[in-house]
Structure 1
């Protein structure tokens, strides 16, 4: 599984990140120490329409209040220039990466074009592991030369907890919002996202959304159609859907699949042997 180089990244990824770097150099010279990407793109460069760009910016100091206001302007400018794809990430010190994600102080970050100061949702064990093993360096010290803490037990426990809390709550929400749960985008999100976590619990290895779908297609053959639908939406959105005339069946199949996958993941109480 190859991590792409900067030159192998899709044009839009290089363009958005390049604009981010240029704006920081212009408006906050000396703040940025490094810029790195994580997420599905670190797995053979997987990036499709609708994919996000997930970044971690390493700074030379904790941003001051004045820095934060300039960062807010920078990300506002990026959102105007690039309404798509979402450019999500946060700012930390290199020393933060050597410790547990939960110990990182509140700091600036952006999610779905919303800039804020607080605890970013990607400050978690899986981000640290993706950075360590599949991170892409765009500027600064190479990610493989940075000390990044990663603990198999902590990663397993946090992944299992995520399934048992966030993903269960989302499943319940889908029951109460049938229209949204019937959309093709819901199939991509749920039929690939939930098994992505279970794949990690079973194998001990993170993976991309598409690879998780291909794994789930074999691991759950009785749910193959809804997994194929998730892969179709992500990779081949112009192809016809087998659910085109019955989106309600897509919702029912998705809920049934996610219910089983989440239960299987939560039942895995011990980390996988690597």
Structure 2
């Protein structure tokens, strides 16, 4: 797992003098680092340039000054920028280089983005899974990484829509498990944290049920 300092050293060696700002978000500022966590970082460049691709780094690249604008007015040089990212940077983000950004935005922008993402991104994928589920063996093993992504991702949006707070996947899973204790969401949380929990198609089916309940909860 590359450290923030090592990543900045690499960028400075490849792009001397261009990296004007660097800001952490994601698991490292949400108290949710696990062994396979990516390094989530926003890089500000003083001039357009292409960053080297580094395994385990999820980077959004913007020009200097972009983080002082509303997110809807920013076109990134690489990666994606969203109202949720902007909120993280202005609240819990950690600045490694440059001034702390203001990232102007509103709670309404964040909620609207989360609601739209539940339908435009997650519902589409879950509907595809719903169509093939009857043909699957519930006891069959399922890839861990993909299941943790779909099983815990919507819960993060659910919590943000309800409270405005942004949390990591593990905490979101705990909160969803407390709300719907009949679903095996804590198995996913334990697996994410490194426990040897066998994950099966039955867990994927439960993740679909969790998504349906989340969607009903935020639209009721």
Q: Which bracket does the TM-score occupy, shorter chain normalised?
A: 0.7 to 0.9
Alignment pair present for 1:232 and 2:190: yes
Give the match for residue 126 of structure 2. 171
1:140 positional shift? 2.5
The 2-side partners of 1:255 and 1:182 are apart by 14
Paired residues, number: 215
Alignment of 1:132-151 (within 5 A): 132-141=90-99, 143=100, 146-151=101-106
Give the equivalent residue in structure 2 for 1:255.
208
Find out whether 1:264 has 2:217 as its counterpart: yes
Runs of 4+ displaced beyond 6 Å: none
Q: Whole-Å Cα distance in 1 between the matches of residues 5 and 28 of structure 2?
A: 16
* C-alpha deviation, 1:135, in angstroms: 0.7
8 Å contact 2:71–2:103 — kept in the other structure?
Answer: no
CA distance in 2, matches of 1:192, 1:22: 33
What SS does the corresponding residue of 1:221 show, helix, strand or coil?
A: coil
Determine which of 33, 37, 40 is the counterpart of 2:20. 33
Q: CA RMSD in A?
A: 2.3
SS in 2 for 1:150: coil
Q: Check if 1:104 corresponds to 2:74.
A: yes
Is 1:222 the counterpart of 2:182? The answer is yes
Shift in alpha-carbon separation, 1:190–1:212, aligned structure 2, 3 A: same
Give SS of 2:24's match.
strand
Quote how far apart the aligned CAs of 1:106 are. Answer: 4.4
Kept after mapping to 1: 8 A contact 2:39/2:58: yes
Checking the alignment, whether the CA contact within 8 Å between 2:61 and 2:76 is kept in structure 1 is: no
The alpha carbon displacement at 1:93 in A equals: 2.8
Partner-residue secondary structure (3-state), 1:263: helix
- 1:57 matched to 2:43? The reply is yes
- The alpha carbon displacement at 1:30 in A equals 1.6
TM-score under structure 2 length normalisation: 0.87
In structure 2, the partner of 1:127 is 85
Distance 2:70 2:163 in 1: 22
2:58 aligned to which of 68, 72, 88: 88
CA contact (8 A) 2:40 2:57 kept: yes
Secondary structure, aligned partner of 1:233: helix
Q: CA deviation at 1:34?
A: 1.3
Q: Distance in 1 between matches of 2:104 and 2:68?
A: 5
After TM superposition, the score normalised by the length of structure 1 is 0.71
1:13 Cα offset (Å) = 4.2
1-structure distance, mates of 2:170, 2:186: 10
Segments of 5+ residues of structure 1 without an aligned counterpart are 1-11, 80-85, 110-119, 269-274
